[in-house]
Amino acid sequence: MEGVDHLAHERNRSQFDVNDMKIVWAGSREAFEVSDRMSRLVANDPAFRKDNRVHLTRKELFKNTLRKAAYAWKKIIELKLSEEEAGRLRFFVDEPAYTDLHWGMFVPFLKGQGTEEQLQKWLPLAYKMQIIGCYAQTELGHGSNVQWLETTATFDPKTDEFWWPGGLGKVSTHAVVFARLITNGRDYGVHGFIVQIRSLDDHSVLPGITIGDIGVKFGNGAYNTMDNGVMHFDHIRIPRNQLLMRFSQVTREGKYVQSDVPRQLVYGTMVYVRKTIVIDASNALSRAVCIATRYSAVRRQFGSQDGVETQVINYKTQQSRLFPLLASAYAFRFVGEWLQWLYTDVTQRLAANDFSTLPEAHACTAGLKSITTAATADGIEECRKLCGGHGYLCSSGLPELFAVYVPACTYEGDNVVLLLQVARFLVKTVSQLVSGKKPVGTTAYMGRLQHLMESTCKVQKAEDWLNPSIVLEAFEVRSARMSVECAKRLSQFTNQEEGFHELSPSLVEAAVAHCQLIIVAKFIEKLQGDIPGNGVKDQLQKLCSIYALFTLHKHLGDFLSTSTITPKQASLADDQLRSLYAQVRPNAVALVDAFNYTDHYLGSILGRYDGNVYPNLYDEAWKDPMNDTAVPDGYHEYIKPLLKQQLRNSRL
Ligand SMILES: CCCCCCCC/C=C\CCCCC/C=C/C(=O)SCCNC(=O)CCNC(=O)[C@H](O)C(C)(C)COP(=O)(O)OP(=O)(O)OC[C@H]1O[C@@H](n2cnc3c(N)ncnc32)[C@H](O)[C@@H]1OP(=O)(O)O
Ligand SMILES: Cc1cc2nc3c(=O)[nH]c(=O)nc-3n(C[C@H](O)[C@H](O)[C@H](O)COP(=O)(O)OP(=O)(O)OC[C@H]3O[C@@H](n4cnc5c(N)ncnc54)[C@H](O)[C@@H]3O)c2cc1C
pLDDT band at 1 (very low <50, low <70, confident <90, very high): very low
Q: What is the mean pLDDT of the chain?
A: 94
Sign of CA dihedral 386, 388, 391, 396: negative
Average pLDDT (350-377) is 96
pLDDT of the residue at 652: 66
Is residue 222 lining ligand 1, measured as CB closer than 6 Å?
Answer: no
For residue 542, count other CB atoms closer than 10 A to its CB.
Answer: 20
Is this model's pTM higher than 0.90 or not? Answer: yes
What's the pLDDT band for 301 if we cut at 50, 70, 90?
A: very high
138 is in an annotated binding site: yes
Per-residue pLDDT band for 156 (boundaries 50, 70, 90) equals very low
Give residue 2's pLDDT: 44
229 lines ligand 2 (CB under 6 A): no
Structure ipTM over 0.95, yes or no: yes
Hey, whose CA ends up nearest to atom 2 of ligand 2?
411
Judged by DSSP in three states, 516 sits in helix
Ligand 2 geometric centre to CA of 49 (Å): 33
> How far does residue 419's CA lie from ligand 2's centre (Å)?
13
The pLDDT value recorded for residue 158 is 46
Closest CA to 155 of 179, 120, 130: 179
**Does residue 407's CB lie within 6 angstroms of at least one atom of ligand 1?**
no
Query: What is the per-residue pLDDT across 483-516, written as a single tens digit (0 to 9) for each?
Result: 999 999 999 999 999 999 999 999 999 999 999 9
Q: 160 falls in which pLDDT band (50, 70, 90)?
A: low
What's the 271 CA to ligand 1 centre distance in angstroms?
A: 7
pLDDT band at 340 (very low <50, low <70, confident <90, very high): very high
Band the pLDDT of 221: cuts 50, 70, 90.
Answer: confident
Cβ-proximal residues to 321 (8 Å cutoff; 6+ apart), any chain: 382, 385, 386
Counting residues of the chain whose pLDDT is more than 70, the rounded percentage is 98
Rounded to whole angstroms, what are the CA distances from 57 to 64, 324, 541, 587?
A: 10, 37, 47, 42
Mean pLDDT, range 473-485, rounded to an integer: 98
Asked if 147 and 136 touch (Cβ cutoff 8 Å), the reply is: no
pLDDT of residue 5: 76
Q: Poorest-confidence range of 34-38, 382-386, 622-626?
A: 622-626
Instruction: Mention the CATH class of domain 103-259.
Output: mainly beta
Average pLDDT of the residues in 140-162: 72
d(CA 651, CA 649): 5
Ligand 2 pocket member 140 (CB < 6 A): no
Q: With 90 as the cut, is the pLDDT of residue 366 above it?
A: yes
Find the Cα–Cα–Cα–Cα dihedral 454, 457, 460, 466, rounded to 10°. 150
Q: What is the mean pLDDT of residues 192-215?
A: 95
- Per-residue model confidence as pLDDT tens digits over 595-629: 999 999 999 999 999 999 999 999 999 999 999 99
What are the residue ranges spanned by the domains of the chain? 103-259, 268-303+311-439+465-593
- Which ligand 2 atom minimizes the distance to the CA of 415? 47
Task: Indicate if the alpha-carbon torsion angle 587, 588, 590, 596 is positive or negative.
Answer: positive
Confidence (pLDDT) at 139: 87
Q: 137 and 165 in contact (C-beta within 8 Å)?
A: yes
Average pLDDT (420-446) is 95
Distance of CA 611 to the CA centre of its chain: 28
Distance CA 503, CA 651 (A): 70
Q: What is the pLDDT of residues 408-424, one digit of tens each?
A: 999 999 999 999 999 99
Q: What are phi and psi of 629, to 5 degrees?
A: -130, 150
Q: Do domains 103-259 and 268-303+311-439+465-593 have the same CATH topology?
A: no
Note the helical H segments in 27-106. Answer: 29-43, 58-78, 83-93, 98-101
Is the model's pLDDT at 70 over the cut of 50?
A: yes
Span from the CA of 29 to the centroid of ligand 1 (angstroms) = 33
pLDDT at 4: 64
> Looking at residues 341-365, what average pLDDT do you find?
94
Q: What is the mean pLDDT of residues 209-221?
A: 90
Strand pairing partners for 195? Answer: 175
Given the candidates 3.30.70.260, 3.40.50.300, 1.20.140.10, 3.20.20.10, the CATH classification of the domain at 268-303+311-439+465-593 is 1.20.140.10
For the residues 238-267, what does the mean pLDDT come to?
Answer: 89
Of residues 185 and 16, the one with the higher pLDDT is 16
Please state, in angstroms and as integers, the Cα–Cα distance from residue 595 to each residue in 152, 374, 543, following that order.
47, 21, 15
Q: Is the CB of 142 under 6 A from ligand 1?
A: no
Residues 79-127 have pLDDT tens digits of 999 999 999 999 999 999 999 999 999 999 999 999 999 999 999 999 9
Residue 412 appears among annotated catalytic residues: yes
Q: Is 365 in the pocket of ligand 1 (CB under 6 A)?
A: no
- Which of 65, 357, 362 is the pocket-test mutation for ligand 1 (most atoms within 8 Å of CB)? 362
Q: Binding site annotation covers 166?
A: yes
Count CB atoms within 10 A of the CB of residue 212: 14
By the 10 Å C-beta count (0-12 exposed, 13-18 middle, 19+ buried), 133 is classed as buried
Q: Are strands 174-183 and 248-250 parallel, antiparallel or unpaired?
A: unpaired
Cα–ligand 2 centroid distance for 588 (angstroms): 37
Q: Which of 10, 382, 412, 476 is catalytic?
A: 412
Q: Does residue 546 contact residue 327 with C-beta atoms inside 8 Å?
A: yes
Half-sphere exposure of 253 (CA within 13 A, CB side): 2
